[in-house]
């Protein structure tokens, strides 16, 4: 979750999720007729008494504290989140909201969720343009790719699932750079990194 302090006693709260409970968010079909989900739901116009209510935080954190009990996402999405700004979850759809396909194998490492939250934070930072947020996001992805390349140098073997994940990471980096990076030097750096990672995989 990402909590922003606004003017006066107003807040906004965003919940980024790529796992259980994602079915409670808004959806759309992409160009391949695959379902995409609004992975970061932003609730605006939240009053201070609501965001400081311990009952909300108990429901929000309960699945983390007691993961084996009956603490699924239903109460969070149908009760706790609507409590914040008196709106059903699907009535909260920010301008430029991000939609992603749910990971086929699940997001067990929560890496995709962390990246979705990072993108949201960059996009919603005061004084940051969408282009600046995209370039910052690509820079982070590029650094992740550099670390992956170094690990590939040390690895004696790699599973098929590991190869698939790395291929997806390289493809995502290239796609995100092509979609929003204007600086030629940054683009060339990304291309070089993707090429090096691809070579290390062969």
Instruction: Kindly report, residue by residue over 69-124, the tens digit of the pLDDT.
Output: 666 788 899 999 999 999 999 999 876 788 888 877 777 778 788 888 888 888 88
* HSE toward the beta carbon, residue 161, CA cutoff 13 A: 3
| Tokens matching residue 28 | 């759309």
* pLDDT given at position 69: 64
With bands split at pLDDT 50, 70 and 90, how would you rate the model's confidence at 25?
very high
Higher pLDDT, 187 or 34: 34
Q: Average pLDDT, whole number, for the chain?
A: 82
* DSSP per residue, 159-196: -HHHHHHHHHHHHHHHHHHHHH---HHHHHHHHHHHHH
Sign of the C-alpha dihedral, residues 7, 11, 54, 87?
A: positive
Instruction: Tell me which long-range contacts 73-78 makes (C-beta under 8 A, separation of at least 24).
Output: 73/20, 73/21, 73/24, 74/21, 74/24, 76/21, 77/21, 77/24, 78/24
Higher pLDDT, 181 or 141: 141
* pLDDT given at position 71: 64
* pLDDT given at position 32: 81
- Cβ-Cβ contacts under 8 Å for 24 (sequence gap 6 or more): 73, 74, 77, 78, 89, 90
With bands split at pLDDT 50, 70 and 90, how would you rate the model's confidence at 200?
low
Domain ranges of the chain: 1-104, 127-202
Between the alpha carbon of residue 12 and those of residues 2, 22, 108, the distances in Å are: 8, 20, 27
145, 168 Cβ separation under 8 angstroms? no
* HSE toward the beta carbon, residue 127, CA cutoff 13 A: 0
| Tokens matching residue 31 | 């160009």
Longest dimension (CA), the chain: 56
């Amino acid at each position: 979750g990402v909590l922003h302090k606004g003017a006066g006693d107003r807040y906004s709260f965003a919940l980024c999720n790529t796992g259980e409970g994602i079915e409670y968010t808004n959806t759309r079909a992409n160009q391949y007729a695959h379902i995409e989900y609004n992975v970061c739901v932003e609730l605006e116009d939240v009053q201070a008494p609501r965001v400081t209510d311990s009952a909300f935080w108990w429901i929000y954190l309960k699945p983390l504290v007691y993961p084996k009990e009956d603490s699924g996402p239903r109460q969070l999405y149908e009760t706790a989140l609507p409590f914040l700004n008196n709106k059903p979850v699907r009535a909260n759809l920010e301008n430029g909201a991000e939609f992603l396909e749910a990971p086929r194998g699940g997001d067990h490492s929560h890496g995709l969720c962390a990246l979705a939250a990072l993108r949201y934070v960059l996009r919603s930072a005061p004084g940051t343009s969408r282009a600046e947020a995209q370039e910052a996001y690509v820079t982070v992805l590029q650094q992740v790719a550099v670390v992956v390349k170094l690990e590939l140098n040390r690895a004696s073997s790699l599973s098929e699932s590991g190869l698939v994940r790395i291929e997806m990471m390289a493809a995502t980096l290239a796609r995100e750079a092509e979609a929003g990076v204007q600086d030629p030097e940054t683009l060339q750096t990304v291309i070089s990194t993707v090429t090096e990672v691809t070579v290390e995989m062969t």
